[in-house]
């Protein structure tokens, strides 16, 4: 019976199916590694690096806390990323990250425009 198990020593082969599924759902680059082994970088439904690590994945593994940041080095240097730990009880087994498209959007600009559109539509509805 096929099954997927991940542990703090899972390598690329064990992590790839999960990373590929996340990539296919989000259509965004995905990275994943375990606490004890390098992992994968997945883009366009394919593993493009099966010996991957990155500075934010490593920071999350050390801290055990999710992070949204812009790395200053690595494959995603200068690109907003969001990375979260995968925990079991009190242990961090792995970390998974995605390119953070929200971090690339000027939220105040979008919400400012939204408010203007709502105001304009509301004015046209008044009798």
User: Which domains are present in the chain?
Assistant: 12-125 (3.30.450)
Note the pLDDT tens digit of each residue in 89-120.
Answer: 999 999 999 998 776 666 666 666 666 666 76
- Report field, pTM of the whole predicted structure over 0.85: no
Phi and psi angles of residue 115, each rounded to the nearest 5 degrees, phi first: -60, -40
Instruction: Give the number of other CB atoms < 10 A from CB of residue 58.
Output: 15
45-103 tens-digit pLDDT: 999 999 999 999 999 999 999 999 999 999 999 999 999 999 999 999 999 999 987 76
C-alpha atoms less than 13 angstroms from C-alpha of 48 in its C-beta half-sphere: 10
DSSP state, 119?
H
Instruction: List phi, psi (to 5°) of 125.
Output: -85, -20
């Amino acid at each position: 019976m096929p099954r997927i198990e991940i542990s703090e020593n899972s390598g690329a082969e064990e992590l790839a199916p999960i990373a590929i599924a996340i990539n296919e759902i989000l259509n965004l680059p995905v990275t994943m590694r375990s606490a004890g082994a390098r992992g994968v970088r997945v883009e366009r439904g394919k593993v493009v690096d099966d010996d991957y690590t990155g500075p934010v994945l490593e920071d999350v593994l050390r801290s055990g806390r999710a992070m949204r940041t812009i790395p200053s080095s690595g494959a995603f240097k200068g690109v907003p990323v969001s990375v979260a730990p995968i925990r079991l009880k009190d242990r961090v087994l792995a970390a998974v990250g995605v390119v953070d498209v929200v971090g690339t959007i000027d939220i105040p600009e979008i919400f400012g425009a939204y408010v203007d559109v709502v105001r304009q539509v509301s004015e046209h509805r008044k009798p």
